[in-house]
Chains A and B, each alone.
Chain A
């Protein structure tokens, strides 16, 4: 029996210039990450433009676009209230970008040799940047609207003084952790999911290469598992995009409607 090749699930997250497999020597390179970000942007732009005909009776495409925009509008309206409309552009942008890049990263483009899909949100730098933008919006709105009174966010209202002194540092830490936790969530969901898919995809290949009946059985088992995991991955991608948009809206609500 041949020794099984070493499984390297981290290789799919490597950022390299397009057409090469080596790390870039210069920081100014057109990498696969940039390429797939442009693909995500293209998909979003084509999808939105197709539905922006402003027909009185929407066709199927326009109805689909209206469902998407209405969904993001609902998030801001329910969490922030009527003042939430001016934050809709960022909430909608974050939601669509995370959703589309999660889904495009899970698409099996690799059946065309050489076309490896790259999950843009599988990089912490991307999701971290988005969560920092959300955090900066919260800080800017809070200090712009309430000035230094914004610090009362850390003090629970109506609590006795000893509890206030105790709670305020905890609230402060939990506030400062927000950009970290917000960015970690979509990143790890995609990262862990793709590692899992990669490992079990390798099990299929190794099971078939083993050539025995047992190997074939295990490969079939892993194939069924990977199909179900892919469906779960699409669900997780949608939930993570929704959670990011929802938490952004809730954090902005803290700053917009200070208690």
Chain B
């Protein structure tokens, strides 16, 4: 296998991590919505932590994307 095809395959495998991060982001927003619907009074105060959790979950997907890009375009 030459380097170019190995790079493309590797980048595709690295992109799987983005799917995992999407599950994490969905969990964060879904759990917030569940909690907010059960106790709407406490929802506003927890919105900050929802976004912090979203940022943390999303970051891992972005790192997977960055790794894919590095593999794809590294020489």
B-binding residues in A (CB < 8 A): 10, 78-79, 181, 184-185, 188-189, 192, 239, 242-243, 246-247, 250
B9 to chain A, nearest CB (A): 19
Chain B residues with Cβ under 8 A from A79's Cβ? Answer: 48
Contact A243 B54 (CB under 8 A): yes
Chain A residues with Cβ under 8 A from B42's Cβ? Answer: none
11 contacts between A and B (CB under 8 A): A78-B48, A184-B66, A185-B55, A185-B58, A185-B59, A188-B62, A188-B66, A189-B62, A192-B62, A246-B51, A246-B52
Task: Say which residue of A184, A239, A246, A250 sits within 8 Å of B62 (CB atoms).
Answer: A184
The interface centre, meaning the residue of B51, B55, B73 with most chain A CB atoms within 10 A of its CB, is: B55
- Place the interface of chain B in its size category: 10 to 19
B58 to chain A, nearest CB (A): 7
Chain B residues with Cβ under 8 A from A189's Cβ? Answer: 62
Contact B52 A250 (CB under 8 A): yes
Chain B residues with Cβ under 8 A from A243's Cβ? Answer: 51, 54-55
Q: Residue of A at shortest CB range from B66? A: A188
Instruction: Decide: A181 near B59, CB < 8 A? Known: A188-B65, A188-B66, A192-B65.
Output: yes
Contact code string B55-67 (vs A, CB < 8 Å = 1, else 0): 1001100110110
Interfacial residues of chain B within 36-60, with CB under 8 A of chain A in the complex: 48, 51-52, 54-55, 58-59
Instruction: Give A188 to B66 CA distance when docked, in angstroms.
Output: 8
Q: Residue of B at shortest CB range from A246? A: B51
**Besides A185-B59, A239-B51, 16 other A-B contacts (C-beta < 8 A):** A78-B48, A184-B59, A184-B62, A184-B63, A185-B55, A185-B62, A188-B62, A188-B65, A242-B51, A243-B51, A246-B48, A246-B51, A246-B55, A247-B55, A250-B48, A250-B52
B20 to chain A, nearest CB (A): 16
Q: Residue of A at shortest CB range from B56? A: A181
Contact B52 A247 (CB under 8 A): yes
